[in-house]
Structure 1
Amino acid sequence: MSDRLSVGDAAPEFTLPDADGNEVSLTDLRGKNVIIYFYPAAMTPGCTKQACDFRDSLDSLQAAGYAVLGISPDKPEKLAKFRDRDGVTFPLLSDTEKAVLLAYGAFGEKTMYGKKVTGVIRSTFVVDADGKIAVAQYNVKATGHVAKLRRDLGL
């Protein structure tokens, strides 16, 4: 388990493949506000709901100056199926090695159905234009999270 990030911390840099195998780097988005959310598994009910919520809010998030990236430990092939099945219109990135999940404190021990397990901790971060963490939210709910984030951001 890695340390959790806090507001003001430098966002850990990363380069990961998207659903088509193209590399996406956080440094390429410098100068923009970036919402990065970590989710356990593509094509599961909660993760689908969360991705569709971000998809449905994408136009207004982009109009307010935010890019969105979703990251999971799924392989690009599964992400492509997820994207195509649910019409996801923002990059879904593959972190099969869990290095970025660990760097953001989004992988470790959590409680699921009353049991302690090790896995992806559903988390959301906003990285500001200078590469600093502006929002760090751990153990977020799949349903209703995007609406709460929009309120937190004043959108």
Structure 2
Amino acid sequence: MPPSDTPPPAEPLDVGDRAPAFEATLVTPEGETRETNFAELLDKPVLLSFYTVDFSPDCIEEWCTFRDFDWFASGEEVNVVGVSKSGPRLHRRFIDRLDLGFPLYADTDLAVSEAFGVAYRTFGVFRRSRRSCFLVDEDGEIRYRWLGEHWLDPTRDTPPVGELHEAVQAELADDPETFGF
């Protein structure tokens, strides 16, 4: 991610805020790995899902739930993209192992997480991304936000799939897609 003139937010970004511009390494289900500007994905709404690292038990559960519900992969109306501290090689293995149908950003320095205000230190020591989801519309405005709230370790919360589905439906408004429900 290129350096920014503005410092990262002290608090997580909220509904109505503009999503920050960034570029990071994106690993696709098709095996492509390339630097990708977030704006390239905004041809339709984007659901960014921040998580800690690939292959942690809580993250496997989250991504398998997303995959199994197939509520976003079944339509072409929303881009779902994961963001974690894991690097491109581990992302490639994670996508292949779980048979995921969506790309993952490698946020190895947590610059993207910091820009969204979701980087933190677990137990005050290890830097990672707070479990969170942001639905960003085509204009770059955050339309929905979910933040993990666990008192000791926010990585232990799992995004509410039903609530995410409702947020996507509200954003699409006139699209009858069922997203697997």
TM-score by length of 1: 0.84
State the superposition RMSD in angstroms: 2.2
- Of 129, 134, 137, which residue of structure 2 is paired with 1:125? 134
Greater RCO (Cα-Cα under 8 Å, separation 6 or more) = 1
User: Residues 1-23 of structure 1: CA distance to partner in whole angstroms, max 9, x if unpaired?
Assistant: 73211111110112111234312
Report SS of the residue matched to 1:63: coil
**Number of matched residues?**
150
**What is aligned with 1:15?**
23
Cα distance in 2 for partners of 1:95, 1:7 equals 22
User: Residues 42-93 of structure 1: CA distance to partner in whole angstroms, max 9, x if unpaired?
Assistant: 0111101111222234454552711100000101011111111000110011
1:43 maps onto 2:64 in alignment: no
Report SS of the residue matched to 1:17: strand
Change over 3 Å in CA distance of 1:21–1:50 after alignment to 2 = same
Higher deviation after alignment, 61-70 or 99-108: 61-70
Cα distance in 2 for partners of 1:97, 1:71 equals 12
**What is aligned with 2:75?**
63
Bigger radius of gyration, 1 or 2?
2
- Of 36, 39, 61, which residue of structure 2 is paired with 1:24? 36
Cα distance in 2 for partners of 1:77, 1:44 equals 16
Unmatched 5+ stretches in structure 2: 1-8, 150-156, 170-177
- Of 82, 87, 90, which residue of structure 1 is paired with 2:94? 82
Change over 3 Å in CA distance of 1:60–1:107 after alignment to 2 = closer
In terms of fraction of residues, the more strand-rich structure is 1
- Of 100, 125, 147, which residue of structure 2 is paired with 1:138? 147
Higher deviation after alignment, 85-94 or 24-33: 24-33
Report SS of the residue matched to 2:33: coil
Cα distance in 1 for partners of 2:20, 2:70 equals 24
Change over 3 Å in CA distance of 1:57–1:12 after alignment to 2 = farther
Amino acid at match of 1:130: D
Sequence identity percentage: 31
**What is aligned with 1:149?**
164
Contact 2:46–2:78 (Cα < 8 Å) also in 1:
yes
Contact 1:50–1:145 (Cα < 8 Å) also in 2:
no
